[in-house]
Chain A
Amino acid sequence: AQSVTQLDSHVSVSEGTPVLLRCNYSSSYSPSLFWYVQHPNKGLQLLLKYTSAATLVKGINGFEAEFKKSETSFHLTKPSAHMSDAAEYFCAVGAGNNRKLIWGLGTSLAVNP
């Protein structure tokens, strides 16, 4: 069975400081892993995706994530937070096929001036 745990429900950072949003997964298969972002009153948008190619995945808006099989983790990072990064972030895992992604509960990122 597949599952996703986002380790922090809320993260607060200052503008210009690094962002770390943590995601652990469990999968019986070789997983596909995703990070999506949801800005207020907007639809979810794909940030980045891992599908067994390079373990360090670069996404949009300066975000990247590293797949660590030994730690079953897929943490999302950004070197320098911007005010516009304030949003809800969701980690998801697909396995076998990606028809039915399994989603984490989300991490709310606040960026303080």
Chain B
Amino acid sequence: GAGVSQSPSNKVTEKGKDVELRCDPISGHTALYWYRQSLGQGLEFLIYFQGNSAPDKSGLPSDRFSAERTGGSVSTLTIQRTQQEDSAVYLCASSPSRTETGELFFGEGSRLTVL
């Protein structure tokens, strides 16, 4: 596709359930990022991939959060045993550069609501 694609665009789940959020980056982009955008908060870095490796996962808030990337392309962010404080918009971004330029191409986000 032409841009970064995220699915689902909206997800409502019950507390304690697991959720998977998917990101399909721009073809050829080697770097992939996950951010979280909570109400009244700035964007919060979660994890960074270069290819299939995650050299920086320092932003993952707890061990309930994990992410993987396969084939240097699609990434999945998994949240286990969701809590109400996990409610947020999860943003994926990709970048064509192997150097970290800060020039990111964002998807439209996946809005997660935990009841």
Contact = CB atoms under 8 A, between A and B. Distances in A.
Interface of A: 4, 32, 34, 36, 41-46, 49, 90, 92, 94, 97-106
Chain A residues touching B, majority SS = strand
| 6 shortest interchain CB distances as A-B pairs | A98-B102, A43-B106, A103-B42, A103-B43, A44-B106, A98-B100
Contacts, number: 58
Interface in B32-74: 40-45, 48, 56, 58-59
Given A43-B91, A43-B108, A43-B109, A49 B42 contact: no
Size band of the interface chain B makes with A: 20 to 34
A97 B42 contact: no
A46 B101 CA distance: 12
Nearest to B3: A43
Contacts of B100: 94, 97-99
Contact of A34 (B41, B45, B102, B109): B102
Nearest to B103: A46
B107 A43 contact: yes
Nearest to A9: B40
A42 B100 CA distance: 23
Contact of A44 (B40, B41, B48, B91): B91
A98 B109 contact: no
Contacts of A102: 42
